[in-house]
Structure 1
């Protein structure tokens, strides 16, 4: 991947009227944020332990629909040295869930002129369906290189051998779909898995770090080069989590630990001033974290054209 290819691809007549990719440079590393589309979910999932009145006020203050709204699905492609690293693989297409506006990653990679066969490594922040689903779509595995390395925390693989859904608050059908997607992924790509415990540098300046919480093996990805830094936070941070980091997201398997991990990460990002990108922040989700009283504030970067 290089920015010239991305810019050239952008000169063609667009098939969509909304942006779907955004490029930044971290030192010598190219980073491309790609939208996998949007996932409509109930607003209650933003904080199922929150006072419904307070939650409704937060939603109203942001001019969002009161019952359900579209969660962004962001993935990241990184070019570091001779390696091309895809961070998470999107939702794919599960016909039983009827989510036609999600699962757009493969189409948008093609639109950017990026060949799946050029991807040398994949990092999975965790094995929820909206992060592994793109890999189990029929025909995808054949397009990937046989020596592809898929990096995932060992604790994550272990968890999905017998996952615990007792503390989540998901819509009906999601637990079964998540279970099936994780199992299918593990079966298809067992020979490609490269497991790590706490931290692993998967490419120069591209470091996966396990946080736990959201799932036992959930990890973030740090990108560091030439004094520049960007953290892809996966599902550790949601839009509501800056003002209300103690609210439990419906997809969190250990909500208390997820909240602790979220606060630790937000404090660190506020101290370093580095860029933040997260899966479910509004696309392209590039911005900075600031401390705001007893909570935090997200400051989106100005788009660079």
Structure 2
């Protein structure tokens, strides 16, 4: 994987009419953001602790909604030395009703990256839209048998008996999350490299436990040549800049999620790093600035 290779069109499917990958450098690290597609979700899941009228007004101002919106799914690929690292794996294609998600395998191939070249995977957390892609038969058959999968020990332990008492998800979702996490652990238990607080996956690539969204949720920090980027996973959603205190229905510990979110946003604003997150609109590359008691998202200008 080189920037020269992944920036070229390659073998794009006829119906892939919009950009689905974005390449950049962080010092010596080569980085690729890939869109896994979008999930249609109820707008109410984005703000469960506010008046519905206030929530509706925010979505109207953002020109989305009023009842449903498309939730972006972004996956990261990082090349550090001789390691090719996948950060999360998208939804996969085994869940009916989400035909526009689960695109990462074909889009990875279109970028000229062979799944067999992936040496490491970092799982920010074990929700189905982050591990489901690794459960696709055509993906499993092409991964290396010795692939290293980095995930926090707290996350693995949580899914033994997950607590959904503080979430506000659509009714069918918890059972699917449970079964998907169980299948993931069963399939890859021998490949899991579990860490406590943080783990250096490769030079310049560190996974760090944050908790909040799930007890074992982690983010991934890239640091090379004085340049920095953080992949925030599900610590951050589009509404989180204007209203970091609004709870998301998929957060297992909403109060802790707010603390994690504010801390990450303040860190990003202070050090000027780039920020990427799973559910920000693709390509989700930008900076954060402080705006009174809230924050402001400053999208990067595309360099192409």
Q: Tell me if the contact between 2:200 and 2:206 (Cα under 8 Å) persists in the aligned partners.
A: yes
TM-score computed with the length of structure 1 as normaliser: 0.98
Unmatched runs of 5 consecutive residues or more in structure 1: none
Q: Give the superposition deviation at 1:293.
A: 0.7
SS in structure 2 of the partner of residue 143 of structure 1: coil
Corresponding residue for 2:246? 247
CA 1:12–1:177: 2 relative to 1, 3 Å: closer
Aligned pairs (5 A) from 1:54-133 = 54-95=54-95, 97-133=96-132
The question of 1:135 aligning with 2:134 is answered: yes
Report the TM-score, using the length of structure 2 for normalisation.
0.98
Secondary structure class of the residue paired with 2:60: helix
Q: In 2, are the aligned partners of 1:9 and 1:113 still within 8 Å (CA)? A: no
Residue 275 (1) aligns with residue 271 (2) = no
1:9 CA displacement: 3.8
- Distance in 2 (CA, whole Å) between partners of 1:7 and 1:19 is 11
1:12 to partner: Cα distance: 5.7
Asked if the contact 2:87/2:122 (under 8 Å) is kept, the reply is: yes
Per-residue deviation at 1:113?
A: 1.1
| 2:190 counterpart of 1:191 | yes
- Name 1:225's counterpart in structure 2: 224
Pairwise CA distance, 1:112:
0.8
Report how many aligned residue pairs link the two structures: 304
The alpha carbon displacement at 1:13 in A equals 7.2
CA distance in 2, matches of 1:278, 1:191: 28
What are the superposed Cα offsets for residues 6-62 of structure 1, whole Å, 9 maximum, x if unpaired? 133448675411110000100000000000000000000111111211111110001
Q: Is the 8 A contact 2:116 2:143 kept in 1?
A: yes
Distance 1:220 1:4, change over 3 A: same
Residue 139 of structure 1 aligns to a residue whose secondary structure is: helix
Asked whether the equivalents of residues 125 and 218 of structure 2 are also in contact (C-alpha less than 8 Å), the reply is yes
Q: Deviations over 1:113-151 (max 9, x none)?
A: 110000000000000000000011123222111110000
Instruction: Map 1:35-46 to 2 at 5 A.
Output: 35-46=35-46
Q: Deviations over 1:219-260 (max 9, x none)?
A: 000000000000000000111001110111011000000111
- Please tell me whether the aligned partners of residues 109 and 115 of structure 1 are also in contact (alpha carbons under 8 angstroms): yes
CA contact (8 A) 2:89 2:129 kept: yes
Q: Is the 8 A contact 2:11 2:110 kept in 1?
A: no
For residue 78 of structure 1, give the secondary structure of its aligned residue in structure 2: strand
- Separation of aligned partners in 2, 1:13 and 1:136: 23
SS, match of residue 281 in structure 2: coil
Listed as ranges, the matches of 1:284-295 within 5 Å are: 284-295=283-294
Give the unaligned 5+ runs of structure 2.
none
Equivalent residues of 1:39, 1:72 under 8 A apart: yes
RMSD: 1.1
**What is residue 24 of structure 2 aligned with on the other side?**
24
String of CA shifts for 1:58-112, please: whole Å, max 9, x gaps: 10001112000000000000000110000000000234x4100000010101111
Question: CA contact under 8 A between 2:7 and 2:23: conserved in structure 1?
Answer: no
Please say if 1:148 is aligned against 2:152. Answer: no
